Amino acid sequence: MASLPFDTSGASSRSPSIREPQQINARMDRLPATPTMWMLVLMLSFGGWFEFYDLFFTAYVGPGLVKSGLYSTTTASFFGFSGLGAFVAASFAGLFIGTFFFARLADRFGRKTVFTVSLLWYSVATFVMAWQDSATTINPWRLIAGIGVGVELVTIDTYVSELMPKHLRGRAFAFVHLVQYTAVPAVALFSWWLVPRTPFGVDGWRWVVIIGALGALIVWAIRRRVPESPRWLAQQGRYDEADSIMQKLEAKVAQQYGRPLPAPVESAEPVVAKARFSEIWQPPYRRRAITMLVFNLFQAIGFYGFASWVPTLLVSKGVTVTHSLLYSFVIAVSNPFGPLLGMAIADRIERKTLIVLSALGIAVFGSLFATQTSPAMLMTLGVLITLCGTLLSVGYHAYQTELFPTRMRATAVGFVYSMSRLSAMFSGFMIAFALRHLGVPGVFALIGGSMVMVMGAIGFFGPRTNNRTLDEISH
């Protein structure tokens, strides 16, 4: 797969026939699956790898933070800022701020610029956090890092949805998650090796965090290989740049395809260079926004309630710290298999159906996990919960980007997605409180109830999106 030399500095003036956003969209949607298209997805996935590493190291460095005396596992009060729940809450507070307040910058300044800046932001803040010596200094830097992660995740989802044709969107998101979720076994492995130790006199959890900060080195290697979204450029009236990128992309794809590209079939998304936030509350977007707000409120409790607490939950069931990290690593290795399965079925099964079935699996397998003490059963059920969780993630990350038009995609997705961050922030306290007073069964009762709400929201109110153009879904 060759890199893509996307340089639009020499773009020339074009005839009015190509100066239409709907024509750019149609040209993008007719592109076949070739190595060039998958290379674009791979490059964006590398940026997302470090974001997932950050999201999930919360769980795996938790035992190390407790062992070092910086945090306690639970707290007597609900909002206990010296407990591990506060570290989790700081992570998601930052994610909420990033998604709610700053994700819309991608609609103003472009996908590529925000993709680059947010990854650099996260890397620097994470590196600084790694050297803090108390909960009161770790939490603020964790929050600052979370802002960058929140912006990055929304930008990547928006970017992928716009660079992929309609017949590849489901598989493209599954592939992105396949790459991103390899970060989970990686962080689990590093934690298993490092957290119980102090290499060179430095706590192992700090080394795990520092590894995550290396994303800054990767971003400069990939930023020149990925073009700005032609759909976004066209929507902004920058048709020459959009056309220049499309010509280069079409030439490479056609060369690999070995025959003429299919003829573009135009749709009609109106030219609105700058969307208003109030447009989210107009039909048909109002119902979609409310549906996704409810969905994100509850999915985060279910998804992160397990993913961010699995080593601690195992310790609460009597497993030692070292063995809990080993079991967690075995569970974490299964993370890429959900997206791998998603690549086979994501464009064949309706997106909303995939979400509902995945949520059902989390509820059922989580209930069984709460009753087990056998290491083999704990790991088996942990793997099944993880598979369902990653399939849920594949489904909804693609789904929520499809529900809103290009002119406000990042703004709308950032808004509805921010609810999951707000929910996950409080879920840290909720899980810690439930674990203290109700034990592991109480934790999974909370998770199961959340998944029931997820199934109801998407199953009854979510529109169908599979194999439809973004313009068709928007209208």
pLDDT tens for residues 196-209?
Answer: 888 888 888 899 99
pLDDT tens for residues 282-327?
Answer: 888 999 999 999 999 999 888 777 766 676 677 676 665 556 667 7
Which residue did the predictor score with more confidence, 5 or 347? 347
Task: Using alpha carbons, list the distances in angstroms from residue 26 to 15, 31, 474.
Answer: 17, 9, 15
**Spatial separation of the C-alpha atoms in residues 329 and 340, rounded to whole Å:** 19
Which pLDDT belongs to residue 18? 43
User: CB neighbours of 396 closer than 8 A, spacing ≥ 6?
Assistant: 295, 299, 355, 458
What structural domains does the chain harbor?
17-261+271-474 (1.20.1250.20)
pLDDT reading at 105 higher than 60: yes
Backbone angles phi, psi at 209, to 5 degrees: -70, -40
Task: Using alpha carbons, list the distances in angstroms from residue 461 to 26, 295, 347, 356, 360.
Answer: 28, 10, 20, 12, 17
Six token digits for residue 380 = 């088996």
Backbone angles phi, psi at 455, to 5 degrees: -60, -40
User: CB neighbours of 358 closer than 8 A, spacing ≥ 6?
Assistant: 388, 389, 391, 392, 395
pLDDT tens for residues 164-189?
Answer: 998 899 999 999 999 998 988 888 88
Average pLDDT, stretch 409-416?
A: 92
Max avg pLDDT among 67-76, 266-275, 459-468: 459-468
Exposed, middle or buried by CB within 10 Å (0-12, 13-18, 19+), for 120? middle
Backbone angles phi, psi at 254, to 5 degrees: -65, -40
The C-alpha torsion from 70 through 75 and 78 to 84, rounded to 10°, is: 30
- Cβ–Cβ under 8 Å, residues 145 and 129: yes
Which pLDDT belongs to residue 144? 94
User: CB neighbours of 471 closer than 8 A, spacing ≥ 6?
Assistant: 22, 25, 267, 268, 269, 405
Max avg pLDDT among 223-237, 265-279, 422-436: 223-237
Which pLDDT belongs to residue 432? 75
**Spatial separation of the C-alpha atoms in residues 67 and 80, rounded to whole Å:** 18
Percent of the chain with pLDDT over 70: 87
